[in-house]
Amino acid sequence: MQTPRQPDRPNKRLRASGGYRKLASFQTTTLIYDGTVAFCNYFVSGYSRTHDQMVQAARSGRQNIAEGSRAGAVSSKSELRLTNVARASLEELLLDFEDYLRQNDLPLWGKDSPESKKVRALGREIQDAPANSPLANPQDAGDRARNKLYANWLQHKDPAIIANTLLCLIHQANYLLDQQLIALERDFVEGGGYSEQLAAARIAHRRRPDRTDPSDPSDPADQIPKCPQCGELMALRTARQGKNEGSQFWGCTAYPKCKGTAPLD
């Protein structure tokens, strides 16, 4: 007896997720977390609430990047929210280090100071490292190599040098996270959330001429309109901004090539 042909199944997730170890923001916040733990252990009393708050803020900056990257597989909103949490945690940590310098009458480096430029140069060295360099390794070996690169700054005996170095790294991480948030928001507006992409994928599967799994008769495929501009099937979208924010409408599945829309009856 011939075995019936099984329907084709996707061999990968609808949306990519993870890969956070390769993000420059994650690698930078790993440096910040390790440096903050060492700084607090040496220069901030373990009995002080500030000690725990600074360590937790540094940890939150790192861990929420990872969690947001994983959550992006099924929720754009969760990825945005968690990346924003990471950004806010680093801003809190930045203020803590500035407070430490001010309250201990220690100097704060200016953006264009020779020291700040030297620390930023180390970041460019990592960015320009060849793919086979330990500095470009996204795993533990790479974290150790990057820590070693900054060792003269982050293991200094002067707390002012360590604090200012970490402030430079926090500014770098904040810039990188701001760029991530801009990209995430743009993709969310243009491509929709996970549920919308899932609906579009379902529509694309249903119109395949060689599909062998009949559609569920309860699935109202006949009610899906075609784009008035290009004739492709449409998918439900949700307005993200403007006077109709939150309301649904039909949007062309060929977006962004075609920007055809239709009202939801």
Q: 116-132: per-residue pLDDT in tens?
A: 999 999 999 999 999 99
Q: Assess whether 169 and 259 both reside in one domain.
A: no
Q: Is residue 9 part of a domain?
A: no
- 96 domain-assigned: yes
- Please check whether residue 199 lies inside any domain of the structure: yes
Task: Tell whether 13 is covered by a domain.
Answer: no
User: Is residue 50 domain-shared with residue 85, that is, in the same domain?
Assistant: yes
242 in the same domain as 130: no
Model confidence at 211: pLDDT above 60:
no
The pair of three-digit structure tokens given for residue 26, joined into one six-digit string: 């994650």
Verify that 199 and 144 share a domain, yes or no.
Answer: no
Q: Which residues contact 217 (CB under 8 A, 6 or more apart)?
A: none
Q: What is the pLDDT of residue 14?
A: 39
Q: Which residue has the higher pLDDT, 243 or 39?
A: 39
DSSP string, 224-261: PPBPTTT--BEEEEE--SSTTTT-EEEEETTTTT---E
- Tell me the pLDDT band of 157, cut-offs 50, 70 and 90: very high
Are 134 and 258 contained in the same domain? no
| Cα-based distances in Å from 259 to 229, 233, 253 | 8, 12, 9
Residues 233 and 134 in one domain: no
Same domain, 169 and 249: no
Rounded Cα distance between 148 and 35, Å, is 11
For residues 43 and 156, is the Cβ–Cβ distance under 8 A? no
* Total domains in the fold of the chain: 2
Q: Mapping DSSP to helix (H, G, I), strand (E, B) and coil, where does residue 203 land?
A: helix
Model confidence pTM above 0.85 = no
Q: Which of 233, 210, 110, 119 is nearest to 165 (CA)?
A: 119
Domain that holds residue 131: 20-191
Per-residue model confidence (pLDDT) at position 232: 82
Here the tokens at position 169 are 């790294």
Look at residue 213 and tell me if it is in a domain: no
Please indicate, yes or no, whether residues 177 and 249 belong to a single structural domain of this protein. Answer: no
Residue 171, in any domain of the structure: yes
Percent of the chain with pLDDT strictly greater than 90: 55
Task: Identify the pLDDT of residue 220.
Answer: 46
Residue 15: pLDDT over 50: no
The predicted-structure confidence for 215-229, as pLDDT tens digits, reads as follows 554 444 456 778 888
Both 106 and 49 in one domain: the answer is yes
227 in Cβ contact with 254 (< 8 Å) = yes
- Give the pLDDT of residue 227: 87
Q: What is the mean pLDDT of the chain?
A: 83
Strands 234-238 and 248-252: antiparallel
Output the CA–CA distances (angstroms, integers) from residue 22 to 149, 190, 246, in the order listed.
18, 25, 34
Q: Are residues 141 and 250 in the same domain?
A: no
Based on the domain organization, do 107 and 203 belong to the same domain? Answer: no
pLDDT for 63: 96
Residue whose pair of structure tokens reads 């977390």 in the numeric block = 33
- pLDDT above 60: residue 195: no
d(CA 20, CA 69): 6
The residue ranking higher by pLDDT, 161 or 214, is: 161
Does residue 48 belong to any structural domain of this protein?
A: yes
Displacement of CA 185 from its chain's centroid (Å):
11
On whether both 87 and 40 belong to a single domain, the answer is: yes
In Å, the largest CA–CA distance within the chain is 86
pLDDT tens digits, 56-113: 999 999 999 999 988 876 677 788 889 999 999 999 999 999 999 999 999 999 999 9
Is 202 among the domain residues? yes
pLDDT at position 16, please? Answer: 47
